[in-house]
Amino acid sequence: MFGFRKKAAEPAILEIASPIQGTILSLDNVEDEAFSSRAMGEGIAIEPHEGKVVAPFSGKLVHLMEKSKHAMILEHDSGVQILIHVGMNTVSLKGEGFIAHASSGDRITKGQLLLEFDIAAIQEAGYPVVTPIIVPGGQEIIKQVDTSNPHKDAIIKVTY
């Protein structure tokens, strides 16, 4: 009758800090087509300089591959999720060279050490250590994923 409408929520931007110290690369440089074709989602990759993964934001460690420890899904308090996948085909290592410092379901804080991995051992086993950081597709909350100007303080900007 009066035409009152709820005002649409203003979009917010989540700036995702780099969870790994290293050289930032385009997904185009990832040998695995699931990542380079962006079938898994949009993101960037990192060539690690040290074998540590830290929380890029506060939230929750939704899932850590318990046996292999090579991949994890993190969720920001906003509901935005990211996938961190250490190396290519590293699931084959069955956890060798990986030390988890958090478990699935844990609350995490920005900068917290989540995982250590042995770069030399992974490379000696014949696997690349290039690590995709992906915003998986299919998240209804997400309006845009921006990887156009990655730097250590904000490798990915997610509008939600």
Catalytic residue among 63, 70, 76, 85: 85
**Residue in 117, 133, 125, 121 with CA at minimum distance from that of residue 30:** 133
Question: What residue has token string 């960037």?
Answer: 44
Backbone angles phi, psi at 153, to 5 degrees: -80, -20
Decide: helix, strand or coil at residue 29.
helix
**Dihedral angle over CA of 22, 123, 86, 63, nearest 10:** -140
Does the annotation mark 85 as catalytic?
yes
**Residue in 158, 160, 97, 103 with CA at minimum distance from that of residue 133:** 158
Residues carrying an active site annotation: 85
